[in-house]
């Protein structure tokens, strides 16, 4: 190849290249001009939108697309093709609304409402028993849950005139008795035996309820002799008015001396009665519960130490209100309470149910008793 020929070929290529570059430059210039025109149009539009639209003369309406009370006019609804919701339905319009201020008030703490609890009915709660006092007024007394309760079946009591009987499984479990003092005057014990009486409780003596003197019941020895002849079982009782344990011991010694001197034999207990004789002020009226209790405990303990059964006699009000029965656990009770059924909540072995009964051998009112323990074989 010649040098000149080679140069010509290279030169021809250069011209083609120059033409192509010129065409590219023209295209770029046209593109730049178009872009400037578009930017100019956009700027004009933006400027027009920044100007506050004027309301049409003679109307009070708000032009479409402007804000009214902080909300977009509902006229925009027509610009949304196929949309059935209104601007008010779009929740995001209120997303940044400030909540209305709630007036603050000082917190008031309400006191808890206390519903009063209705007190249980003492007549049905099983924890109280009704006490009727000598003057007629009544009181519901609480029953001590630690004392042995009365276990007798009330359906087992049958009154077979003139006696009260007690049955369990159609078998008689009771014994008929009467208690006797000089108040009954002359008693025909043989007639008592024939009438169906099993035992008698004879008043041995008493301490004067005001004087404090010890004395033997005027009819005791005669009653004992004739009751023995009638082959009745015999028990005795002493009416206490001791205000100290020393006086209680003195009463027991008096009873034991009378038994020994008169060769008395007892099948039933030697009971201590805490019911005062007569009316008026008794020397034990101001005695507190525990000194009163200790005096009776002294009497019963010394009776049992001497080899006899002891028994505490009294009515419901006296026993429950004047004595600490919890201190007397282990000692038998002779309950005094007139009625068709016993009304003493605790365990008892003898019940005086009538102070004005009728039975052959006693003129006038007889003090009728039922015993649930056969002391002869105990």
pLDDT tens string 295-334: 999 999 999 999 999 999 999 999 999 999 999 999 999 9
Residue 72: pLDDT over 80:
no
Residue 113 inside a domain? The answer is: no
When pLDDT is averaged across residues 55-75 and rounded to a whole number, the result is 44
Per-residue exposure over 255-291, b if at least 16 CB sit within 10 Å of its own CB, e if not? bbebbeeeebebebbbbbbbebbeeeebbbeebeeee
Helix intervals (H) in the chain: 3-50, 189-195, 220-229, 245-261, 289-305, 316-322
How does residue 85 score in pLDDT terms, banded at 50, 70 and 90? low
Helix intervals (H) in 51-122: none
Q: What's the rounded Cα separation, in Å, for the pair 293 and 326?
A: 10
pLDDT tens string 87-118: 555 554 455 555 555 555 455 555 666 666 77
Residue 43: pLDDT over 60:
yes
Q: Is the peptide bond before 18 cis (omega within 30 degrees of 0)?
A: no
CB atoms within 10 A of CB 245: 17
Residue 330 inside a domain? The answer is: yes
How does residue 372 score in pLDDT terms, banded at 50, 70 and 90? very high
Predicted confidence at residue 97, as pLDDT, reads: 53
Residue 366 inside a domain? The answer is: yes
Instruction: Give, as one character, the DSSP assignment of residue 362.
Output: B
Residue 15 inside a domain? The answer is: no
Residue 153 inside a domain? The answer is: yes
Percent of the chain with pLDDT over 90: 62
Residue 82 inside a domain? The answer is: no
Predicted confidence at residue 65, as pLDDT, reads: 44
23 vs 200: which has the higher pLDDT: 200
- Give the residue numbers spanning the domain of 330: 145-371
Residue 233's Cβ-side half-sphere holds a number of Cα atoms within 13 Å equal to 17
Q: What's the rounded Cα separation, in Å, for the pair 48 and 268?
A: 130
Residue 285: pLDDT over 70:
yes
Q: What's the rounded Cα separation, in Å, for the pair 200 and 180?
A: 7
Angle among Cα 77, 82, 86 to the nearest 5 degrees reads 30
Predicted confidence at residue 84, as pLDDT, reads: 55
Predicted confidence at residue 223, as pLDDT, reads: 98
Domain count, the chain: 1
Residue 255 inside a domain? The answer is: yes
Counting beta carbons within 10 angstroms of the beta carbon of residue 181, is it exposed (0 to 12), middle (13 to 18) or buried (19 or more)? buried
Q: What tokens were used for 112?
A: 């808890």
98: region left, alpha or beta (phi > 0 left; psi from -120 to 50 alpha)? beta
137 vs 93: which has the higher pLDDT: 137
When pLDDT is averaged across residues 63-92 and rounded to a whole number, the result is 47
The enclosing domain of 150 has a CATH number of: 3.20.20.80
Mean of per-residue pLDDT scores for the chain: 83
Backbone angles phi, psi at 233, to 5 degrees: -75, 145
**Is the pTM of the predicted complex or chain greater than 0.75?**
no
Residue 25 inside a domain? The answer is: no
371 vs 108: which has the higher pLDDT: 371
């Amino acid at each position: 190849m010649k040098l000149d020929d080679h140069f010509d070929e290279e030169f021809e290529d250069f011209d083609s290249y120059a033409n192509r570059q010129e065409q590219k430059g023209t295209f770029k210039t046209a593109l730049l001009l178009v872009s400037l025109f578009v930017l100019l149009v956009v700027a004009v539009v933006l400027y027009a939108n920044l100007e506050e639209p004027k309301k049409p003369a003679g109307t009070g309406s708000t032009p479409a697309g402007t804000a009214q009370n902080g909300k977009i006019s509902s006229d925009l609804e027509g610009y949304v093709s196929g949309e059935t919701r209104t601007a008010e339905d779009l929740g995001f319009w209120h997303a940044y609304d400030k909540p209305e201020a709630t007036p603050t008030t000082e917190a008031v703490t309400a006191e808890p409402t206390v519903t009063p609890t209705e007190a249980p009915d003492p007549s049905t709660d099983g924890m109280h028993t009704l006490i009727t006092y000598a003057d007629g007024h009544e009181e519901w007394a609480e029953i001590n849950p630690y004392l042995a309760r009365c276990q007798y079946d009330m359906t087992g009591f049958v009154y077979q005139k003139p006696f009260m009987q007690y049955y369990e499984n159609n078998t008689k479990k009771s014994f008929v008795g009467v208690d006797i003092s000089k108040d009954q005057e002359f008693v025909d014990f043989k007639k008592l035996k024939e009438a169906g009486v099993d035992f008698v409780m004879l008043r041995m003596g008493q301490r004067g309820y005001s004087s404090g003197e010890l004395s033997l019941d005027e009819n005791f020895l005669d009653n004992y002799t004739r009751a023995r002849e009638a082959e009745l079982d015999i028990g005795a009782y002493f009416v206490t008015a001791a205000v100290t344990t020393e006086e209680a011991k003195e009463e027991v010694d008096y009873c034991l001396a009378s038994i020994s001197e008169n060769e008395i034999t007892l099948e039933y207990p030697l009971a201590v009665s805490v019911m005062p004789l007569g009316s008026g002020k008794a020397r034990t009226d101001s005695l507190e519960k525990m000194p009163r209790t200790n005096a009776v405990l002294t009497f019963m303990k010394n009776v049992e130490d001497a080899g006899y059964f002891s028994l505490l006699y009294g009515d419901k009000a006296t026993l429950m209100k004047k004595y600490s029965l919890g201190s007397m656990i282990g000692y038998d009770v002779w309950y005094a309470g007139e009625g068709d059924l016993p009304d003493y909540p605790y365990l008892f072995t003898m019940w005086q149910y009538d102070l004005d009964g009728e039975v052959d051998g006693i003129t006038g009112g007889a003090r009728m008793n039922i015993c649930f323990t056969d002391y002869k074989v105990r």
